[in-house]
A and B are shown apart, each in its own frame.
Chain A
Amino acid sequence: MSDVCIVGIGIHRFGRTDGLSGLEQGVFAVNQALGDAGVAWQDIQFAYGSSDAAGNPDTMVDRLGLTGVQFINVRNGCAAGGSALFSAQMAIKSGEFDLGLAVGFDKHPRGAFNALPAEYNLPDWYGEAGYMVTTQFFAAKIMRYMHLFGISRQTLGKVAEKAFRNGVHAPHAWRRTPVALDDILDAPMVSDPYSKFMFCSPAEGGVALVLASEKKARELGKPLIRLKAAAMRTRPPHSFEVFAPSIDVVADDGGMRGTATRLASAHAFQTAGIGPADIHVAQLQDTEAGAEVMHLAENGFCADGEQEQWIAEGRTEIGGLLPVNTDGGCLACGEPIGASGLRQVYENVVQLRGDGGGRQVPDTPRTAYSHVYGAPGVSAVTILER
Protein backbone atom coordinates (compact mmCIF):
# COMPACT_ATOMS: atom_id res chain seq x y z
CA MET A 1 0.00 0.00 0.00
CA SER A 2 1.37 3.43 -0.85
CA ASP A 3 2.05 5.93 1.92
CA VAL A 4 -0.01 8.94 2.87
CA CYS A 5 2.06 12.13 2.64
CA ILE A 6 1.77 15.51 4.32
CA VAL A 7 2.11 18.06 1.53
CA GLY A 8 1.01 21.28 3.20
CA ILE A 9 1.12 22.76 6.69
CA GLY A 10 -0.38 25.87 8.24
CA ILE A 11 -0.66 27.29 11.73
CA HIS A 12 -2.26 30.23 13.47
CA ARG A 13 -0.10 31.46 16.33
CA PHE A 14 -1.01 29.85 19.65
CA GLY A 15 -1.76 31.84 22.79
CA ARG A 16 -4.35 34.60 23.00
CA THR A 17 -5.72 36.37 19.94
CA ASP A 18 -8.47 38.74 21.00
CA GLY A 19 -11.06 39.50 18.37
CA LEU A 20 -10.44 36.34 16.35
CA SER A 21 -12.65 33.30 16.95
CA GLY A 22 -11.20 29.82 17.18
CA LEU A 23 -12.79 28.97 13.86
CA GLU A 24 -11.23 32.00 12.21
CA GLN A 25 -7.85 30.85 13.48
CA GLY A 26 -8.59 27.48 11.90
CA VAL A 27 -9.45 29.15 8.58
CA PHE A 28 -6.18 31.10 8.75
CA ALA A 29 -4.29 27.82 9.18
CA VAL A 30 -6.16 26.14 6.31
CA ASN A 31 -5.36 28.96 3.90
CA GLN A 32 -1.70 28.83 4.89
CA ALA A 33 -1.60 25.04 4.45
CA LEU A 34 -3.28 25.24 1.03
CA GLY A 35 -0.73 27.84 -0.06
CA ASP A 36 2.11 25.70 1.28
CA ALA A 37 0.83 22.68 -0.68
CA GLY A 38 0.21 24.76 -3.81
CA VAL A 39 -3.40 23.65 -4.09
CA ALA A 40 -6.72 25.47 -4.00
CA TRP A 41 -9.64 24.88 -1.62
CA GLN A 42 -11.56 23.61 -4.65
CA ASP A 43 -9.04 20.76 -4.99
CA ILE A 44 -9.72 19.46 -1.46
CA GLN A 45 -11.87 16.32 -1.61
CA PHE A 46 -12.56 15.87 2.11
CA ALA A 47 -11.79 17.31 5.53
CA TYR A 48 -11.79 16.20 9.14
CA GLY A 49 -11.96 18.98 11.71
CA SER A 50 -11.44 18.94 15.48
CA SER A 51 -12.51 21.48 18.08
CA ASP A 52 -13.47 20.96 21.70
CA ALA A 53 -14.83 24.33 22.73
CA ALA A 54 -14.86 26.60 19.67
CA GLY A 55 -17.77 25.38 17.56
CA ASN A 56 -18.34 23.02 14.66
CA PRO A 57 -15.37 22.85 12.29
CA ASP A 58 -17.52 22.07 9.22
CA THR A 59 -19.05 25.54 9.41
CA MET A 60 -15.75 26.95 8.13
CA VAL A 61 -16.95 26.14 4.60
CA ASP A 62 -18.69 29.54 4.89
CA ARG A 63 -15.26 31.15 4.81
CA LEU A 64 -13.39 28.72 2.59
CA GLY A 65 -15.95 28.22 -0.15
CA LEU A 66 -19.16 26.28 -0.61
CA THR A 67 -17.72 23.53 -2.76
CA GLY A 68 -19.96 20.88 -1.20
CA VAL A 69 -16.89 19.13 0.15
CA GLN A 70 -17.30 16.25 2.63
CA PHE A 71 -16.40 17.70 6.06
CA ILE A 72 -16.60 15.54 9.20
CA ASN A 73 -16.27 16.91 12.75
CA VAL A 74 -14.24 15.07 15.39
CA ARG A 75 -14.62 15.58 19.12
CA ASN A 76 -12.40 13.18 21.04
CA GLY A 77 -11.05 14.98 24.10
CA CYS A 78 -7.35 15.69 24.00
CA ALA A 79 -6.90 13.16 21.19
CA ALA A 80 -9.21 15.13 18.88
CA GLY A 81 -6.48 16.39 16.55
CA GLY A 82 -4.84 12.99 16.37
CA SER A 83 -8.20 11.38 15.67
CA ALA A 84 -8.87 13.85 12.85
CA LEU A 85 -5.49 13.02 11.35
CA PHE A 86 -6.02 9.27 11.76
CA SER A 87 -9.37 9.53 10.01
CA ALA A 88 -7.95 11.64 7.20
CA GLN A 89 -5.14 9.21 6.44
CA MET A 90 -7.62 6.31 6.43
CA ALA A 91 -9.72 8.13 3.85
CA ILE A 92 -6.70 8.27 1.56
CA LYS A 93 -5.39 4.79 2.36
CA SER A 94 -8.77 3.32 1.50
CA GLY A 95 -8.38 4.66 -2.03
CA GLU A 96 -11.52 6.77 -1.70
CA PHE A 97 -9.69 10.11 -1.97
CA ASP A 98 -6.33 11.55 -3.07
CA LEU A 99 -6.22 14.93 -1.36
CA GLY A 100 -7.72 16.05 1.94
CA LEU A 101 -7.38 18.12 5.03
CA ALA A 102 -7.05 17.65 8.77
CA VAL A 103 -7.71 20.85 10.70
CA GLY A 104 -7.94 21.59 14.40
CA PHE A 105 -8.59 24.77 16.35
CA ASP A 106 -9.79 25.88 19.76
CA LYS A 107 -10.33 28.85 22.02
CA HIS A 108 -10.68 28.24 25.76
CA PRO A 109 -11.55 30.71 28.51
CA ARG A 110 -8.71 31.81 30.78
CA GLY A 111 -7.79 29.76 33.82
CA ALA A 112 -8.11 26.06 34.56
CA PHE A 113 -10.56 23.97 32.54
CA ASN A 114 -13.92 24.15 34.31
CA ALA A 115 -15.32 20.64 34.31
CA LEU A 116 -18.60 19.52 35.88
CA PRO A 117 -19.03 16.06 37.46
CA ALA A 118 -22.10 15.09 35.42
CA GLU A 119 -20.10 15.44 32.18
CA TYR A 120 -17.83 12.66 33.45
CA ASN A 121 -20.47 10.37 34.96
CA LEU A 122 -19.40 11.39 38.47
CA PRO A 123 -21.60 12.27 41.48
CA ASP A 124 -22.18 15.95 42.31
CA TRP A 125 -20.45 15.71 45.71
CA TYR A 126 -17.15 14.95 43.96
CA GLY A 127 -17.21 18.41 42.42
CA GLU A 128 -18.55 20.09 45.58
CA ALA A 129 -15.61 18.64 47.52
CA GLY A 130 -13.18 20.26 45.06
CA TYR A 131 -11.90 17.38 42.98
CA MET A 132 -12.94 18.48 39.46
CA VAL A 133 -9.49 20.00 38.98
CA THR A 134 -7.25 18.36 36.36
CA THR A 135 -4.07 19.73 37.93
CA GLN A 136 -4.62 17.53 41.02
CA PHE A 137 -4.36 14.40 38.91
CA PHE A 138 -1.22 15.46 37.06
CA ALA A 139 0.45 16.41 40.33
CA ALA A 140 -0.53 13.20 42.13
CA LYS A 141 0.68 11.11 39.17
CA ILE A 142 4.15 12.68 39.11
CA MET A 143 4.38 12.67 42.91
CA ARG A 144 4.10 8.88 42.93
CA TYR A 145 6.38 8.56 39.91
CA MET A 146 9.09 10.66 41.60
CA HIS A 147 8.77 8.46 44.69
CA LEU A 148 9.03 5.21 42.74
CA PHE A 149 11.76 6.18 40.29
CA GLY A 150 13.85 8.86 41.97
CA ILE A 151 12.99 11.79 39.71
CA SER A 152 13.94 15.13 41.31
CA ARG A 153 12.03 18.39 41.29
CA GLN A 154 15.12 19.96 39.71
CA THR A 155 14.53 17.72 36.67
CA LEU A 156 10.95 18.95 36.38
CA GLY A 157 12.29 22.49 36.44
CA LYS A 158 14.80 21.75 33.70
CA VAL A 159 12.07 20.38 31.45
CA ALA A 160 10.14 23.64 31.80
CA GLU A 161 13.30 25.69 31.31
CA LYS A 162 13.98 23.87 28.02
CA ALA A 163 10.40 24.43 26.86
CA PHE A 164 10.60 28.21 27.23
CA ARG A 165 14.09 28.28 25.71
CA ASN A 166 12.86 26.37 22.64
CA GLY A 167 9.72 28.48 22.40
CA VAL A 168 11.86 31.57 21.81
CA HIS A 169 12.63 30.26 18.31
CA ALA A 170 9.09 29.11 17.40
CA PRO A 171 7.07 31.93 15.80
CA HIS A 172 3.83 30.06 16.60
CA ALA A 173 4.61 29.68 20.32
CA TRP A 174 2.75 31.67 22.98
CA ARG A 175 5.50 32.12 25.58
CA ARG A 176 8.67 33.16 23.82
CA THR A 177 10.76 34.46 26.71
CA PRO A 178 13.28 32.26 28.52
CA VAL A 179 12.63 31.66 32.23
CA ALA A 180 15.56 30.91 34.55
CA LEU A 181 15.57 27.57 36.34
CA ASP A 182 15.50 29.17 39.79
CA ASP A 183 12.53 31.33 38.81
CA ILE A 184 10.70 28.18 37.67
CA LEU A 185 11.49 26.27 40.86
CA ASP A 186 10.72 29.19 43.19
CA ALA A 187 7.51 30.37 41.48
CA PRO A 188 4.18 30.07 43.33
CA MET A 189 3.02 26.47 43.66
CA VAL A 190 -0.13 25.37 41.85
CA SER A 191 -0.24 21.76 42.96
CA ASP A 192 2.85 20.27 44.62
CA PRO A 193 5.43 19.54 43.21
CA TYR A 194 4.43 21.82 40.32
CA SER A 195 4.91 25.58 40.29
CA LYS A 196 2.97 27.76 37.86
CA PHE A 197 5.72 27.52 35.22
CA MET A 198 5.49 23.73 35.20
CA PHE A 199 1.88 23.62 33.97
CA CYS A 200 0.67 24.56 30.51
CA SER A 201 -2.41 26.75 30.17
CA PRO A 202 -5.54 26.37 28.09
CA ALA A 203 -5.07 28.59 25.04
CA GLU A 204 -6.11 29.34 21.46
CA GLY A 205 -4.75 28.40 18.09
CA GLY A 206 -5.34 26.59 14.82
CA VAL A 207 -3.40 24.07 12.73
CA ALA A 208 -4.10 22.55 9.31
CA LEU A 209 -2.40 19.75 7.43
CA VAL A 210 -2.97 18.89 3.74
CA LEU A 211 -2.68 15.16 3.15
CA ALA A 212 -2.20 13.44 -0.18
CA SER A 213 -1.73 9.99 -1.62
CA GLU A 214 1.87 9.31 -2.61
CA LYS A 215 0.90 9.57 -6.29
CA LYS A 216 -0.75 12.94 -5.74
CA ALA A 217 2.19 14.17 -3.63
CA ARG A 218 4.59 13.33 -6.48
CA GLU A 219 2.36 15.24 -8.93
CA LEU A 220 2.51 18.26 -6.64
CA GLY A 221 6.29 17.99 -6.61
CA LYS A 222 6.47 18.27 -2.84
CA PRO A 223 9.17 16.66 -0.68
CA LEU A 224 7.67 13.38 0.48
CA ILE A 225 6.93 13.56 4.21
CA ARG A 226 5.36 10.17 4.81
CA LEU A 227 2.86 9.45 7.58
CA LYS A 228 4.16 6.01 8.49
CA ALA A 229 1.80 5.48 11.40
CA ALA A 230 -1.13 7.10 13.14
CA ALA A 231 -2.69 5.41 16.15
CA MET A 232 -5.32 6.37 18.72
CA ARG A 233 -6.03 4.32 21.83
CA THR A 234 -8.20 4.46 24.96
CA ARG A 235 -7.18 3.34 28.46
CA PRO A 236 -6.50 -0.24 29.60
CA PRO A 237 -7.73 -1.71 32.91
CA HIS A 238 -6.25 -0.40 36.21
CA SER A 239 -4.90 2.83 34.72
CA PHE A 240 -4.78 6.05 36.79
CA GLU A 241 -6.64 8.85 35.00
CA VAL A 242 -7.90 12.35 35.59
CA PHE A 243 -11.05 12.69 37.77
CA ALA A 244 -10.62 9.32 39.54
CA PRO A 245 -12.51 9.01 42.87
CA SER A 246 -10.87 5.59 43.17
CA ILE A 247 -8.15 3.52 41.52
CA ASP A 248 -7.93 -0.27 41.31
CA VAL A 249 -5.51 -2.03 43.61
CA VAL A 250 -3.09 -4.28 41.72
CA ALA A 251 -0.84 -7.11 42.91
CA ASP A 252 2.47 -5.53 41.86
CA ASP A 253 2.24 -1.77 42.17
CA GLY A 254 5.96 -0.98 42.11
CA GLY A 255 6.03 0.02 38.44
CA MET A 256 4.00 2.08 36.01
CA ARG A 257 0.52 0.89 35.19
CA GLY A 258 -0.76 0.35 31.68
CA THR A 259 -1.75 3.54 29.88
CA ALA A 260 -3.45 4.56 26.66
CA THR A 261 -0.08 6.03 25.68
CA ARG A 262 1.68 2.68 25.92
CA LEU A 263 -0.97 1.06 23.74
CA ALA A 264 -0.93 3.79 21.09
CA SER A 265 2.86 3.93 21.04
CA ALA A 266 3.37 0.19 20.68
CA HIS A 267 0.87 0.06 17.84
CA ALA A 268 2.43 3.00 16.02
CA PHE A 269 5.93 1.52 16.20
CA GLN A 270 4.62 -1.81 14.97
CA THR A 271 2.81 -0.17 12.05
CA ALA A 272 5.84 1.92 11.08
CA GLY A 273 8.16 -1.05 11.40
CA ILE A 274 10.74 0.90 13.42
CA GLY A 275 11.58 1.26 17.11
CA PRO A 276 12.15 4.12 19.58
CA ALA A 277 15.90 4.17 18.88
CA ASP A 278 15.15 5.02 15.22
CA ILE A 279 13.34 8.28 16.09
CA HIS A 280 15.31 11.51 15.51
CA VAL A 281 12.94 14.07 17.04
CA ALA A 282 9.85 13.75 19.25
CA GLN A 283 6.97 15.93 20.37
CA LEU A 284 5.56 14.46 23.60
CA GLN A 285 2.49 15.59 25.53
CA ASP A 286 3.75 18.01 28.18
CA THR A 287 0.61 19.20 29.93
CA GLU A 288 3.06 19.67 32.76
CA ALA A 289 6.80 19.22 33.07
CA GLY A 290 6.47 15.77 34.61
CA ALA A 291 4.32 14.54 31.75
CA GLU A 292 7.25 14.93 29.37
CA VAL A 293 9.40 12.96 31.83
CA MET A 294 6.90 10.11 32.23
CA HIS A 295 5.99 10.05 28.55
CA LEU A 296 9.63 9.50 27.58
CA ALA A 297 9.31 6.10 29.26
CA GLU A 298 5.68 5.39 28.33
CA ASN A 299 6.54 5.86 24.67
CA GLY A 300 9.49 3.49 24.96
CA PHE A 301 12.36 5.97 24.62
CA CYS A 302 13.91 5.06 27.98
CA ALA A 303 13.25 2.95 31.06
CA ASP A 304 11.42 4.36 34.09
CA GLY A 305 13.90 6.34 36.16
CA GLU A 306 16.48 6.90 33.41
CA GLN A 307 15.00 10.35 32.72
CA GLU A 308 16.93 11.85 35.62
CA GLN A 309 20.17 11.09 33.80
CA TRP A 310 18.74 11.84 30.35
CA ILE A 311 17.79 15.35 31.35
CA ALA A 312 20.94 16.00 33.39
CA GLU A 313 22.96 15.11 30.27
CA GLY A 314 20.78 17.22 27.97
CA ARG A 315 19.71 14.31 25.77
CA THR A 316 16.32 15.91 25.09
CA GLU A 317 17.82 19.28 24.09
CA ILE A 318 17.73 20.35 20.44
CA GLY A 319 21.33 19.20 19.95
CA GLY A 320 20.83 16.05 22.05
CA LEU A 321 20.34 12.38 21.31
CA LEU A 322 16.54 12.73 21.11
CA PRO A 323 15.36 16.35 20.91
CA VAL A 324 11.95 16.61 22.59
CA ASN A 325 9.35 19.37 22.16
CA THR A 326 11.44 21.49 19.85
CA ASP A 327 8.84 24.28 19.68
CA GLY A 328 8.44 24.41 23.44
CA GLY A 329 5.52 21.98 23.51
CA CYS A 330 2.35 22.70 25.43
CA LEU A 331 4.35 24.48 28.14
CA ALA A 332 5.38 27.24 25.71
CA CYS A 333 2.49 27.01 23.23
CA GLY A 334 -0.46 26.45 25.58
CA GLU A 335 -3.08 23.83 24.92
CA PRO A 336 -5.98 24.53 22.59
CA ILE A 337 -7.38 21.00 22.79
CA GLY A 338 -8.59 20.61 19.20
CA ALA A 339 -5.33 21.92 17.71
CA SER A 340 -2.66 20.68 20.10
CA GLY A 341 -1.98 17.25 18.59
CA LEU A 342 -1.83 18.72 15.09
CA ARG A 343 0.66 21.36 16.27
CA GLN A 344 3.03 18.55 17.16
CA VAL A 345 2.75 17.12 13.66
CA TYR A 346 3.17 20.60 12.15
CA GLU A 347 6.39 21.02 14.14
CA ASN A 348 7.62 17.60 13.04
CA VAL A 349 7.08 18.48 9.37
CA VAL A 350 9.00 21.74 9.91
CA GLN A 351 11.86 19.74 11.42
CA LEU A 352 11.88 17.08 8.70
CA ARG A 353 11.98 19.80 6.05
CA GLY A 354 14.87 21.49 7.83
CA ASP A 355 12.88 24.71 8.22
CA GLY A 356 13.21 25.05 12.02
CA GLY A 357 15.56 28.07 11.99
CA GLY A 358 16.86 28.69 15.52
CA ARG A 359 15.18 25.56 16.81
CA GLN A 360 16.20 23.24 13.93
CA VAL A 361 17.50 19.84 14.99
CA PRO A 362 20.99 19.45 13.45
CA ASP A 363 21.61 17.15 10.49
CA THR A 364 18.00 17.37 9.31
CA PRO A 365 16.16 14.48 11.00
CA ARG A 366 14.54 11.77 8.91
CA THR A 367 12.04 10.39 11.44
CA ALA A 368 9.73 12.25 13.80
CA TYR A 369 7.32 11.13 16.52
CA SER A 370 4.32 12.86 18.05
CA HIS A 371 2.25 11.92 21.09
CA VAL A 372 -0.80 13.39 22.82
CA TYR A 373 -2.44 12.21 26.02
CA GLY A 374 -5.43 13.55 27.86
CA ALA A 375 -8.72 13.12 29.64
CA PRO A 376 -10.30 10.69 30.16
CA GLY A 377 -7.43 8.36 29.23
CA VAL A 378 -6.96 8.82 25.48
CA SER A 379 -3.76 8.98 23.48
CA ALA A 380 -2.77 9.49 19.85
CA VAL A 381 0.64 8.87 18.28
CA THR A 382 2.04 9.56 14.80
CA ILE A 383 5.33 8.66 13.15
CA LEU A 384 6.59 10.64 10.16
CA GLU A 385 9.47 9.81 7.84
CA ARG A 386 11.06 11.56 4.92
Chain B
Amino acid sequence: MRAIAEGLFTEETPPRLIGGRERASRRIVFPCPPGDTFEPVPLAREGTLWSWTVQRFRPKSPPYAGPDAFAPWIVAYVELPGEVIVQARLVDVAPDDVRIGMAVRLAPTLLDPQAADPSYIPAFAPIGAGA
Protein backbone atom coordinates (compact mmCIF):
# COMPACT_ATOMS: atom_id res chain seq x y z
CA MET B 1 0.00 0.00 0.00
CA ARG B 2 1.14 3.50 -0.74
CA ALA B 3 0.53 7.10 0.22
CA ILE B 4 -1.65 9.14 -2.14
CA ALA B 5 1.38 11.33 -2.90
CA GLU B 6 5.11 11.47 -2.21
CA GLY B 7 6.29 13.65 0.63
CA LEU B 8 3.14 13.62 2.78
CA PHE B 9 4.19 11.03 5.40
CA THR B 10 7.49 10.16 7.10
CA GLU B 11 8.86 6.63 6.55
CA GLU B 12 8.72 5.70 10.27
CA THR B 13 6.08 3.52 11.97
CA PRO B 14 3.70 4.98 12.88
CA PRO B 15 4.23 7.78 10.37
CA ARG B 16 3.99 11.52 10.86
CA LEU B 17 2.79 14.15 8.40
CA ILE B 18 5.50 16.22 6.74
CA GLY B 19 4.95 19.97 6.81
CA GLY B 20 7.04 22.71 5.28
CA ARG B 21 8.77 25.37 7.36
CA GLU B 22 9.35 28.62 5.51
CA ARG B 23 13.03 29.32 6.01
CA ALA B 24 12.64 33.09 6.33
CA SER B 25 9.53 33.35 8.55
CA ARG B 26 9.61 29.93 10.35
CA ARG B 27 5.90 29.66 9.47
CA ILE B 28 4.80 26.04 8.92
CA VAL B 29 2.42 24.94 6.16
CA PHE B 30 1.09 21.59 4.95
CA PRO B 31 1.96 19.94 2.64
CA CYS B 32 5.58 21.00 2.13
CA PRO B 33 5.72 23.03 -1.09
CA PRO B 34 8.36 22.18 -3.70
CA GLY B 35 11.42 24.41 -3.99
CA ASP B 36 13.98 25.84 -1.58
CA THR B 37 11.81 28.35 0.27
CA PHE B 38 10.42 25.68 2.60
CA GLU B 39 12.27 22.89 4.43
CA PRO B 40 10.46 19.62 5.27
CA VAL B 41 9.62 19.17 8.96
CA PRO B 42 7.81 16.23 10.62
CA LEU B 43 4.62 17.36 12.35
CA ALA B 44 3.18 16.34 15.73
CA ARG B 45 0.98 13.21 15.67
CA GLU B 46 -1.49 14.60 18.17
CA GLY B 47 -3.57 17.75 18.18
CA THR B 48 -7.05 19.13 18.74
CA LEU B 49 -10.02 19.59 16.45
CA TRP B 50 -10.13 23.24 15.23
CA SER B 51 -13.22 22.89 13.04
CA TRP B 52 -15.04 20.31 10.93
CA THR B 53 -17.94 19.50 8.64
CA VAL B 54 -19.37 16.49 6.84
CA GLN B 55 -19.02 15.95 3.09
CA ARG B 56 -22.55 14.70 2.35
CA PHE B 57 -22.46 14.43 -1.45
CA ARG B 58 -19.93 12.79 -3.73
CA PRO B 59 -17.45 15.40 -5.00
CA LYS B 60 -17.16 15.67 -8.77
CA SER B 61 -14.71 13.41 -10.59
CA PRO B 62 -12.26 14.50 -11.71
CA PRO B 63 -10.62 15.44 -9.47
CA TYR B 64 -12.18 13.20 -6.75
CA ALA B 65 -10.74 9.67 -6.82
CA GLY B 66 -12.72 8.09 -3.98
CA PRO B 67 -15.03 5.09 -4.42
CA ASP B 68 -18.03 5.37 -6.78
CA ALA B 69 -20.31 4.18 -3.98
CA PHE B 70 -20.35 7.24 -1.76
CA ALA B 71 -20.71 7.34 1.99
CA PRO B 72 -20.40 10.71 3.80
CA TRP B 73 -17.09 11.46 5.51
CA ILE B 74 -15.93 14.05 8.02
CA VAL B 75 -13.61 16.88 6.95
CA ALA B 76 -11.49 18.09 9.84
CA TYR B 77 -9.13 20.95 10.53
CA VAL B 78 -6.72 19.74 13.21
CA GLU B 79 -4.55 22.13 15.20
CA LEU B 80 -1.09 20.73 15.86
CA PRO B 81 -0.03 22.96 18.75
CA GLY B 82 2.57 25.57 17.86
CA GLU B 83 2.91 24.15 14.34
CA VAL B 84 0.00 24.42 11.90
CA ILE B 85 -3.68 23.60 11.42
CA VAL B 86 -4.03 20.81 8.81
CA GLN B 87 -7.01 19.67 6.78
CA ALA B 88 -7.62 15.89 6.90
CA ARG B 89 -10.33 13.26 7.30
CA LEU B 90 -11.68 12.51 10.76
CA VAL B 91 -12.36 8.77 11.22
CA ASP B 92 -13.66 6.37 13.88
CA VAL B 93 -16.29 8.83 15.14
CA ALA B 94 -19.90 9.64 14.25
CA PRO B 95 -20.78 13.25 13.33
CA ASP B 96 -23.01 13.54 16.41
CA ASP B 97 -20.04 12.83 18.66
CA VAL B 98 -17.63 15.31 17.08
CA ARG B 99 -16.66 18.27 19.30
CA ILE B 100 -14.38 21.20 18.52
CA GLY B 101 -11.40 20.97 20.86
CA MET B 102 -11.45 17.16 21.10
CA ALA B 103 -8.05 15.44 21.19
CA VAL B 104 -7.13 13.55 18.01
CA ARG B 105 -4.21 11.51 16.75
CA LEU B 106 -2.93 10.89 13.21
CA ALA B 107 -4.54 7.73 11.77
CA PRO B 108 -4.01 7.58 7.99
CA THR B 109 -6.94 6.00 6.18
CA LEU B 110 -7.51 4.46 2.76
CA LEU B 111 -9.17 6.67 0.17
CA ASP B 112 -10.76 3.63 -1.52
CA PRO B 113 -10.20 0.33 0.33
CA GLN B 114 -11.66 -1.65 -2.63
CA ALA B 115 -9.26 -0.20 -5.18
CA ALA B 116 -6.71 -2.48 -6.85
CA ASP B 117 -3.88 -0.35 -5.49
CA PRO B 118 -5.39 1.54 -2.54
CA SER B 119 -3.68 4.66 -1.23
CA TYR B 120 -3.47 6.29 2.18
CA ILE B 121 -4.63 9.82 2.83
CA PRO B 122 -4.04 11.97 5.92
CA ALA B 123 -6.65 11.33 8.62
CA PHE B 124 -7.04 11.69 12.36
CA ALA B 125 -9.07 9.75 14.92
CA PRO B 126 -10.22 10.72 18.42
CA ILE B 127 -7.72 9.65 21.05
CA GLY B 128 -9.17 6.70 22.93
CA ALA B 129 -11.41 5.66 20.03
CA GLY B 130 -10.21 2.07 19.94
CA ALA B 131 -7.42 2.19 17.34
A128 vs B62: C-alpha distance when bound (angstroms) = 8
Asked if A114 and B60 make an inter-chain contact with CB atoms under 8 angstroms apart, the answer reads: yes
Q: Which chain B positions have C-beta within 8 A of A305?
A: none
B contact set with A: CB distance below 8 Å:
4-5, 8, 19, 27-31, 50-57, 59-60, 62-66, 73, 75, 77, 79-87, 89, 95, 100, 111, 121-122
Interface code A174-210, partner B: CB below 8 Å = 1, 0 otherwise? Answer: 0000000000000011111100000000000000000
Interface size of A by CB at 8 A reads 35
Least distance between B106 CB and chain A CB atoms (Å): 14
Query: Of residues B60, B84, B121, which shows the largest number of chain A Cβ atoms within 10 Å of its Cβ?
Result: B60
A109 vs B121: C-alpha distance when bound (angstroms) = 30
Interface residue? A354 (CB, 8 A): no
Extra A-B contacts (18), CB below 8 Å, given A116-B63, A244-B87: A111-B60, A112-B59, A127-B63, A128-B65, A128-B66, A131-B87, A136-B75, A139-B54, A140-B52, A140-B77, A141-B51, A188-B56, A192-B53, A193-B53, A245-B29, A246-B84, A249-B28, A249-B84
Within 8 A of B (CB), among A124-166: 124-125, 127-133, 136, 139-141, 143-144, 147
**A129, A144, A253: the one within 8 Å of B4 (CB):** A129
A207 vs B17: C-alpha distance when bound (angstroms) = 47
Interface residue? A66 (CB, 8 A): no
Asked if A131 and B82 make an inter-chain contact with CB atoms under 8 angstroms apart, the answer reads: no
Asked if B55 and A130 make an inter-chain contact with CB atoms under 8 angstroms apart, the answer reads: yes
Asked if B54 and A191 make an inter-chain contact with CB atoms under 8 angstroms apart, the answer reads: yes
Q: Mind listing 30 A-B residue pairs with CB under 8 Å?
A: A112-B59, A124-B5, A125-B8, A127-B62, A129-B89, A129-B122, A130-B55, A130-B64, A133-B59, A136-B55, A139-B54, A140-B53, A141-B51, A144-B50, A144-B51, A147-B51, A147-B100, A188-B56, A189-B54, A190-B56, A190-B57, A192-B95, A245-B29, A245-B87, A246-B31, A246-B84, A246-B85, A249-B28, A249-B81, A249-B84
A124 vs B65: C-alpha distance when bound (angstroms) = 10
Asked if B52 and A143 make an inter-chain contact with CB atoms under 8 angstroms apart, the answer reads: yes
Interface residue? A277 (CB, 8 A): no
Least distance between B56 CB and chain A CB atoms (Å): 5
**B31, B50, B53, B60: the one within 8 Å of A247 (CB):** B50
Asked if A116 and B95 make an inter-chain contact with CB atoms under 8 angstroms apart, the answer reads: no
Interface residue? A248 (CB, 8 A): yes
Within 8 A of B (CB), among A227-285: 244-249, 253
A contact set with B: CB distance below 8 Å:
111-112, 114, 116-117, 123-125, 127-133, 136, 139-141, 143-144, 147, 188-193, 244-249, 253
A125 vs B63: C-alpha distance when bound (angstroms) = 9
Asked if A191 and B4 make an inter-chain contact with CB atoms under 8 angstroms apart, the answer reads: no
Asked if A246 and B63 make an inter-chain contact with CB atoms under 8 angstroms apart, the answer reads: no
A129 vs B63: C-alpha distance when bound (angstroms) = 8
Least distance between A239 CB and chain B CB atoms (Å): 12
A52 vs B66: C-alpha distance when bound (angstroms) = 29
Q: Which chain A positions have C-beta within 8 A of B51?
A: 140-141, 143-144, 147
A123 vs B121: C-alpha distance when bound (angstroms) = 13
**A129, A189, A246: the one within 8 Å of B29 (CB):** A246
Q: Which chain A positions have C-beta within 8 A of B5?
A: 123-125
Asked if A246 and B4 make an inter-chain contact with CB atoms under 8 angstroms apart, the answer reads: no
Q: Which chain B positions have C-beta within 8 A of A136?
A: 53, 55, 75
A130 vs B57: C-alpha distance when bound (angstroms) = 10
**A112, A139, A144: the one within 8 Å of B100 (CB):** A144
The chain A residue sitting closest to B64, CB to CB, is A130
Q: Which chain B positions have C-beta within 8 A of A117?
A: 63
The chain B residue sitting closest to A133, CB to CB, is B59
Q: Which chain B positions have C-beta within 8 A of A144?
A: 50-51, 77, 100
Asked if B121 and A248 make an inter-chain contact with CB atoms under 8 angstroms apart, the answer reads: no
Q: Which chain B positions have C-beta within 8 A of A188?
A: 56
Least distance between B43 CB and chain A CB atoms (Å): 10
**B28, B59, B84: the one within 8 Å of A132 (CB):** B59
